[in-house]
Amino acid sequence: MPPAREQVILVTGCSSGIGRATALEAASRGHRVWATARRPENLEGFSALERVRTCPLDVTDRGSIAAAVARLLDAEGRLDALVNNAGYAQYGAAERVPPEDWRRQFDVNFFGTLETTRAALPALRAAGRSTIVNVSSVGGRIVVPFAAPYCASKHAIEALSDALRVELAPFGVRVVVVEPGPIESRFAERARLAVAPLLADPGPYAPLYPGAERAMGDEFQRGRLPASAAARAIVDAIEADRPRPRYRVTAMARLLLPLSRFLPDRIVDAAMRRALRLPRRA
């Protein structure tokens, strides 16, 4: 059944995972989707889909962002929804992650979201009623040790979204945060590749990494859902007359995020130490 109102939707980070699934889900519901990624060759699978157009967009490059938005508006004449999904995870002990890797994490995850939003906002305001969906994470609310760069960048997205939700309401722009727990995608694989040099680091954290690495692939991946589960939540929010401020995806997200508001920090710390197999005192 076609949606009550066909919408033009721009999605970042569509090379795989949640971004790709969101583009497919939105198109299947009758929306016109612009699927973007830093590397255009990663978008080739969309070429046969009538309702999906592809476009290169590097969220760390203002020129690339502006060109993609301009191309969309030239073809469609309007923009109804923006899904800020592009991102990756940088793991490692906060002390040992090089400063340039910290900056790269924020350039992609946070500033990429901010700059894409800024470029799209004139068109989103002009639409009269539009939606911004920012893809965060359970890690945006609950910090995981050895994932400080990633969690910090997602915390920043949560704060930005809370501000934008109030600032943009007078213009009819709704702002939604989607907070997935563990999702089946290439995200974890890419994270492991990025963290491999840190795991080989002979520094003081070397004895602590093996247990943490096992937990990342065991305890923290229980209850994984396919990327389509997050995609459905994203498109549901775009189509909703009154979307919720936050959509939690997976049982982990629905259970832990409300619970974390009431647990003392020391209990959360102790639970993290047990999950990551860390000694109380090295």
Catalytic residues: 150
Element containing residue 257 per DSSP (H, E): helix 251-260
List the one residue out of 18, 7, 16, 174 whose CA is nearest residue 85: 18
List the one residue out of 180, 260, 167 whose CA is nearest residue 220: 180
Q: Give the separation between CA 45 and CA 143, rounded to whole angstroms.
A: 35
Q: Give the separation between CA 22 and CA 173, rounded to whole angstroms.
A: 20
Q: Give the separation between CA 129 and CA 15, rounded to whole angstroms.
A: 28
List the one residue out of 105, 220, 93, 98 whose CA is nearest residue 153: 105
Tokens of 221: 């991946």
List the one residue out of 275, 188, 277 whose CA is nearest residue 196: 188
Q: Give the separation between CA 202 and CA 135, rounded to whole angstroms.
A: 35
**Single-letter amino acid, residue 99:** P
> How far are the Cα atoms of 29, 48, 166, 201 from residue 161, in angstroms, in the given order?
26, 34, 9, 36
Phi and psi angles of residue 59, each rounded to the nearest 5 degrees, phi first:
-70, -10
Tokens of 248: 């939690």
**Single-letter amino acid, residue 135:** V
